[in-house]
């Protein structure tokens, strides 16, 4: 009966390969749980953005990563070491004309990871990033901050938008 009525993995573990994402070549984390039965959240390109509760130091309602992303724009999530991604995103948005939001997650930043979930789910370092498409699918991720984040993000966005070949 669990496979008929409680198989969340069948619905939520979906991934796809497309020109609208850039695979980072890292293998999917393999768990010991049944992928058809259990949801295994990941930020692997092609997967849906995983949910994590975010908040701020000031008393305010919690907000989900799913509510921060989307809204007809690309969104870049990074941690406390990812300040350089913000200026890179501004430069890329001006160059491409595509709205690109940035959410820095960490103490005294845009959002705080209330339960430590995002840090675990993001599968990137504190200075890495996860780029999410407007349809809430992960388009690309960078494990760490490259030497030139603006050039890297420019190439990524141009490739995602089909402006350059892979």
Placement of tokens 């991720």 in the chain: 141
pLDDT band, very low/low/confident/very high, at 135 (cuts 50, 70, 90): very high
Q: In angstroms, what is the C-alpha Rg of the chain?
A: 16
pLDDT band, very low/low/confident/very high, at 79 (cuts 50, 70, 90): very high
Write down the pLDDT at residue 7: 74
Domain ranges of the chain: 2-160
Write down the pLDDT at residue 28: 67
Which position has the higher pLDDT, 76 or 34? 76
Distance CA 56, CA 162 (A): 36
User: Which whole number is the average pLDDT over 40-52?
Assistant: 92
Distance CA 50, CA 88 (A): 24
Q: Give tens-digit pLDDT for 10-31.
A: 677 777 778 788 888 777 666 6
Q: What is the widest separation between alpha-carbon atoms in the chain?
A: 53
Write down the pLDDT at residue 31: 66
Pairing type for strands 100-104 and 74-78 reads parallel
What sign does the dihedral 41-42-45-51 (CA atoms) show? Answer: positive
Q: What percent of the chain has pLDDT over 70?
A: 96
CB atoms within 10 A of CB 3: 11
pTM of the model: 0.90
Which residues 6+ apart lie within 8 Å of 80 measured at CB? 104, 105, 106, 107, 109, 126, 127
Question: Which H or E element spans position 68?
Answer: helix 65-68
Which residues 6+ apart lie within 8 Å of 124 measured at CB? 43, 78, 79, 130, 141, 142, 143, 144
CATH of 2-160, one of 3.40.30.120, 3.40.350.10, 3.90.330.10, 3.20.20.60: 3.40.30.120
Of 30-44, 81-95, 99-113, the range with the lowest mean pLDDT is 30-44
């Amino acid at each position: 009966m669990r496979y008929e009525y409680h198989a969340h993995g069948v619905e939520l573990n979906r991934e796809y390969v497309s020109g609208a994402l850039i695979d980072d070549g890292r293998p999917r984390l393999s768990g010991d749980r049944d992928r058809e039965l259990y949801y295994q959240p990941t930020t692997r390109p092609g997967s849906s953005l995983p949910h994590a509760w975010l908040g701020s130091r000031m008393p305010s309602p919690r907000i989900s990563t799913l509510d921060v992303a989307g809204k007809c724009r690309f969104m870049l999530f990074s941690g406390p070491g990812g300040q350089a991604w913000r200026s890179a995103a501004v430069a890329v948005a001006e160059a491409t004309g595509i709205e690109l939001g940035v959410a820095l997650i960490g103490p005294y930043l845009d959002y705080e990871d209330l339960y430590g979930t995002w840090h675990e789910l993001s599968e990137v370092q504190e200075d890495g990033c996860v780029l999410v498409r407007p349809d809430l699918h992960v388009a690309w991720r960078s494990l760490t901050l490259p030497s030139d984040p603006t050039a890297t993000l420019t190439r990524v966005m141009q490739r995602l938008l089909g402006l350059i070949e892979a």
